[in-house]
Structure 1
Amino acid sequence: MSTPTLIGVAEFGARYTARLIQFGESPEVLVPLLRRIWTDTFRRDTDAMAAALLARDWWSLAINPRHRRWDPQPPVTGLGYPAVTEDDTIRQGSLRETLGGSLEWLYLLHLDQRLVVVYEATVHGRWLRHSAHHLDPFEDLFVTAPALDEGGAEMTVCTVCGAVDEIDHVEVPSIAGYGHDTATSCTRCGSSVATDPVFGGHVTRKPWPPHTPTTGSTR
């Protein structure tokens, strides 16, 4: 069963430019694939990756697509299977638009931050931000780690200071007029991730260990 998905680039004013992936995937599957395409195919060149994704509509993405005799077009090495559509125009849209059809996911690249922000289509025909992911996973401030004891709950770990489950999260209606502004911070070191519907996510990493003030020596 197909999962119609849009993938593209975030623009100013909650707008975007995107292409269709007929057989898209949920973030658990597509985000790791996008990270590998970014690293292996485009050598971490986010602009080049965005240009290639926006060059055509897609049947599906794949890091190592193989030629199939029933494909109307040859695969694009390191990227996926292009789709043949009647209307091959690039899509210009808004996060505030009313959705029609069967779209399920929207993945937007924030080029200057090397970030992918994922939106899901709600039952009310609106885009709702689902999650944000750095293309370089080492840039994620908070990561989820397995429980230390069998059957226990997973841990949220700060990658700056190593604090476990010492996280404060605040979510309020956004001043943009739709969606929410969020702030997630480590209560030990003060590092934080702030997100909003317009600009996506911003990571602040505090120095760790904290700088110790130097005192003048006495004679």
Structure 2
Amino acid sequence: MSTPTLIGVPALSGRYTARLIQFGEAPEVLVPLLRRIWTDTFGRDTDAMAAALLARNWRSLAVNPRHRRWDRQPLVPGLGYPAGNDTMRQGSLREDLDGFLEWMYLLHPDQGRLVVYEATVHGRWLRHSVHHLDPVEDLFVTAPALNEGGSEMTVCTVCGAVDEIDHVEVPSMAGYGYDTATSCTRCGSSVATDPMFGARLVRKPWPPHDPTTGDATGSTG
């Protein structure tokens, strides 16, 4: 099924320059793929990756594309399957959408970040998540504001949630210092600290596993 998606870079005043991916994917699929392309194809050179993605429109992205009999355009090794339409799209995050697009991924080469936007049912772009191309070991990281003069963001490195963090701090039962618990309200990943045992980090699976019922044979009774 087609998932029309934009891939590009931000411009000034909330604008962007992007190319179309005819068969895009949701973040849980496309973000890991873009990270692999960034590492395997471009050796972590974000500027080179952005330039290559903006060089043409795409049918789909792939690290190891293989020729198919219906492909009319030469494959691009390490990137994917190009499309024939060569129109560059320039738009605004405040634009009205026509219902055709579903996702937009904007690379920030100077920050090594990927910001994902989702098209809402009201035909507007809504920031969905922020992802570091090189995920750090810390569960939560502070990222610069997207807009000049804005406040910094706290980003969950598991699911990419922005400012969806719950923090609790209470006097420690150890009798000194404080116990803290910081958790992501989207995926449930958390880090807890206390003065006696230090930090305990829990990374929850993302995307979450589908619930299952019954045993391995399919029986529920």
TM-score bracket, shorter-length normalisation: 0.5 to 0.7
Task: Quote the residue 1:60 is aligned against.
Answer: 60
Shift of 1:110: 0.8
Q: Which amino acid aligns with 1:30?
A: L
CA distance in 1, matches of 2:58, 2:122: 26
1:110 aligns to 2:108 (yes or no): yes
* Residue identity opposite 1:90 in structure 2: M
Equivalent residues of 2:105, 2:117 under 8 A apart: yes
Q: Which runs of 5+ in 2 are unaligned?
A: 141-155, 160-165, 167-178, 186-190, 195-221
| 1:166 match | 182
Give the letter aligned to residue 36 of structure 1: R
* Residues in 2 aligned to 1:31 and 1:42: alpha-carbon distance in whole angstroms: 15
Pick one of 123, 126, 135 that aligns with 1:125. 123
Tell whether the 8 Å contact from 2:27 to 2:116 is kept in structure 1 after alignment: yes
Could you tell me whether the CA contact under 8 Å between 1:98 and 1:125 is conserved in 2?
Answer: yes
Poorly superposed stretches of 4+, deviation over 4 Å: 186-189
State whether residues 168 and 187 of structure 1, in contact with CA within 8 Å, keep that contact through their aligned partners in structure 2: no
Q: 1:168–1:187: structure 2 CA closer, same or farther, 3 Å change rule? A: farther
Q: Where does 1:1-219 land on structure 2 (aligned, <5 Å)?
A: 1-85=1-85, 88-138=86-136, 141=140, 142-144=156-158, 165-167=181-183
Q: Residues 59 and 164 of structure 1: is their aligned pair in 2 closer, same or farther, counting only changes over 3 Å?
A: farther
Q: 3-state DSSP class of the match of 2:118?
A: strand
Considering only aligned residues, what root-mean-square deviation do their CA atoms show, in Å? Answer: 2.7
Give, in whole Å, the separation in 2 of the partners of 1:16 and 1:27: 19
List runs of 5+ in structure 1 lacking aligned partners.
Answer: 146-155, 157-162, 170-185, 190-219
The structural deviation recorded for 1:138 is 2.1
Deviation by residue 1:152-191 (Cα, 9 ceiling, x = unmatched) = xxxx9xxxxxx9842488xxxxxxxxxxxxxxxx8969xx
Which amino acid is 2:121 matched to? V
Preserved CA contact (<8 Å) 2:180 2:192 = no
Contact 2:131–2:157 (Cα < 8 Å) also in 1: no
| Alpha-carbon shift at residue 89 of structure 1 (Å) | 2.0
Deviation digits for residues 35-54 of structure 1, max 9, x if unmatched? 00000000000000000000
| TM-score relative to the length of structure 1 | 0.65
- Name the CA shift for 1:53/1:127 in 2 (closer, same or farther; >3 Å): same
- CA–CA distance in structure 2, aligned partners of residues 40 and 71 of structure 1: 24
d(CA) in 1 for partners of 2:133, 2:54: 18
